[in-house]
Amino acid sequence: MTKKIIVVLITLFISVSSFAQKNNTSAYSFFGIGDKNSMNTVEQLSMGGIGVAHNDAYHLNFSNPASVASLSFTTYTLAIENKNITAQDANSTQSAASTYLSYLAFGVPIGEKGGFTFGLLPNSSVGYSLVTNELDGDDVITEATLYSGEGGTNKVFMNFGYKPFKGFSVGLQTNYIFGKIENSIINQIADNPLATKYETVSNVKGYSANIGFQYKTSLNPKVDLNLGASFDLSNTIDADGSEYLYAVDIDTFESPKDTILNGDSFGKIKSPLKTSLGVGVGKDNKWFAGVDYSFQKALELSGNTFSSYSKIAYDDYSKIAIGGFYTPKFNSISSYWERVTYRAGLKFEKTGLLVDALESGTDFTAIDDFGISFGVGLPLSQQLSNINFGFEFGKRGSTSKGLVQENYFNFRLSLSLNDKWFKKLEIF
């Protein structure tokens, strides 16, 4: 057993380097510390992202720290995700894709009433390359600007859940957020051999915490009622680094010429309290249908790291997710396919991001997200472990007012491995 724990720990912390890969191709990752990643497992994302009220004995749940109190087996889970985006504006369409390790986590039951989880997952991601051109009266390019960025932030978390009495559980999760983000803007005027480049390199770090509770009661022998709430407490993320402004020669691979600015940069992102509420009905290992609703006041950005974002503003965030699963017969011996779990769901999300693409100073448009998801969980042999496939189709943004609409398809794959590491040996 000790060897198993050591292997898991080594795998977890070596995998930190895997999260440094470029895992985003979205134009909207330009803002703040990048695209905020969904803090859900593949199983949850295949059901629209629900999970605040749901728990089971065999799978981890990242939506509510109280859910780990229901864990009955030592559980190790990891996942990969493939993102495919087709972005279009009023004039053109482009496609891009990325594949990356999306999370790695390990959960352990503690006695009959508690559970502990720790893991690593991406918190936000940056990955974009955008070009804007200025034209004269004859449609000849007089000036070109390239915006590019990469990097992001990761989250290491530890979570403890406990059942003080039957049907009710509480949980606390602490998180350490860290990462590095590089953004640059290269501007070149026609017939000028040199361009100017403005670059920021930011090291991001901060702490956050989540608390939650879940309650389950039987409505009748075949239906249980599940209630849940999770609260992401207010926190502040710091972004400290350097900013540079210098001349570059595009023909010689951007070799710096004359440095105009070399100074320190700093910024802060304050996230207000985020509340998530969930309700669902179902029966353990058979079926579940639920609804989650999340809301949060607008983010607050400050500091010269974010002072150049004149095209954006932030509004209140909200999301509603609807989904569920069905397993024909969880413990079937005669049929493998009766033990397969089928999942489906959808989401409506107001991201809180407002963009003024035309730079009017007043015409900010909300960037909303809609997605439909489904998936299956395939048992591995006769064990409780399974492999999960998830698929999601969706749309974010629009092509009006100079904006970009992103049509996306996400494929996800996860392993959820269960074992009885800490169960006492029983002799009959």
User: What's the distance, CA 361 to chain centroid?
Assistant: 30
DSSP category for residue 328: S
- What's the token pair of residue 282? 């179902």
Q: What structural domains and CATH numbers belong to the chain?
A: 2-419 (2.40.160.60)
Find residue 5's DSSP bridge partners: none
Q: How far apart are CA 205 and CA 33, in angstroms?
A: 11
pLDDT per residue as tens, the chain (428 positions): 444 444 444 444 444 444 544 555 677 887 778 888 888 999 999 999 999 999 999 899 999 999 999 999 999 999 999 999 998 887 778 888 888 899 999 999 998 899 999 999 999 988 887 777 777 777 777 888 888 888 889 999 999 999 999 999 999 999 999 999 988 888 888 878 788 888 888 999 999 999 999 999 999 999 999 999 999 999 999 999 888 888 887 766 566 666 777 788 888 999 999 999 999 999 999 999 999 999 999 999 888 777 766 678 899 999 999 999 999 998 888 889 999 999 999 999 999 999 887 777 778 899 999 999 999 999 987 667 899 999 999 999 988 888 889 999 999 999 999 876 544 544 43
What pTM does this model have?
0.88
Contact 199, 183 (CB under 8 A): yes
**Residues in CB range of 407: below 8 A, 6 or more apart:** 85, 86, 87, 88, 394, 395
